[in-house]
A and B are shown apart, each in its own frame.
Chain A
Amino acid sequence: MEKQDALDDLFAQARSRPVEPSDALMARVLADALAEQPKAVVARAAPVARGSWLGGLASVFGGFGGLAGVGGAAVAGLVLGFVQPATVTDFADAVLGTDVVASVTLIPSADALLVGE
């Protein structure tokens, strides 16, 4: 029992004197750590200010340039849907070789909108 107590004292003494790593070892390990470290996620571009619904909408379409394109396409679609520009019917006549206008006479033409009859 006495031997065991003496041994426990020796263990306690050893624990109180831990092996200190050298600065060189710590530097080597840290260099390995930084060399192996996965790269940090690239910081995003300046975030859009909160509360700007237009900014939020723009970010959905990939920025204001994209939003302008989408808006332009929407307007063009509406115009083409409601009016019948003469160039469209001319183009259709040329391509199809038939009188397209005759089949769409119920749709108002662009002239009707412009003149305001």
Chain B
Amino acid sequence: MPRDTTDEVSDEVLLAAYARGEAAAARALTARLVPRALGYAARMLGDRAEAEDVAQEAMLRLWRAAAGWRTGEAQVATWLYRVVTNLCTDRLRARQRRRAETLDDAPEVADASAGVEAGMIEADRMAALDAALAELPERQRQAVVLRHLEGLSNPEIAVVMDIGVEAVESLTARGKRALAAILAGRREELGYDGDEG
């Protein structure tokens, strides 16, 4: 399959080509899906190295699933987000267990919030967003990141999270409200809004 035509081809078609042994399809899928898996994992975990491991592991599972993939049964991207979600959940739980065992560990949120104190300039605004996301309950964070940062539709998120569309809407709405409150609270704490701080 020539490289310049792969942009118009669906993930499913590329995966079928990969399963037939076409190396170009492997390259196209890697270029297309790794940034998405990595971006989502990084937002969920707040740790670049861990996110890279998760992205690689999720892609490895995709390669292994390719031969038995049944067209029309699942969207490749949705399937991948689901695998990333599960891998991140496992890591977050392991992290919680480690924290419970060693109480003197500094929470990672504190590192990210240092950016807020430095002043809400461009890069720091992103750090503040990541810090605020890290404070959300896990399911709300998943829903908000998938909806507003990864650009998935609510029905797609419902498949990824294995819940109903209404539950997705509820999670994203609550997550957004909580996020806005956290960010507003930070700004007030740091004296960005009004003079009362």
Contacts and interface: CB of A to CB of B under 8 A. Distances in A.
Given A15-B148, A15-B151, 15 more contacts: A10-B125, A14-B126, A17-B126, A19-B42, A21-B38, A22-B52, A29-B56, A29-B59, A36-B63, A36-B64, A38-B19, A38-B20, A38-B67, A40-B20, A41-B21
A39 interface: yes
Interface of A: 3-4, 6-8, 10-11, 13-15, 17-22, 25-26, 28-30, 32-34, 36-41
Nearest to B36: A18
Contact of A33 (B59, B67, B181): B59
A25 B53 CA distance: 9
Interface stretch (B24-32, B105-113, B134-142): B24-32
Interface of B: 18-23, 26-27, 29-31, 34-35, 38-39, 42-43, 48, 51-52, 55-56, 59-60, 63-64, 66-67, 122, 125-126, 129, 148-149, 151, 176, 179-181, 183-184
Given A4-B176, A26-B31, A19 B26 contact: no
A36 B126 CA distance: 37
Most-contacted residue by chain A among B30, B31, B176 (CB, 10 A): B30
A49 B39 CA distance: 53
B148 A19 contact: no
Given A7-B179, A14-B149, A26-B30, A32 B60 contact: yes
A25 B20 contact: no
Contacts, number: 98
Contact of A32 (B21, B56, B125, B184): B56
Contact of A15 (B21, B59, B60, B149): B149
A26 B180 CA distance: 35
Contacts of B26: 30, 33-34, 37
Given A13-B126, A25-B38, A28-B56, A3 B23 contact: no
Contacts of A30: 26-27, 30
B63 A11 contact: no
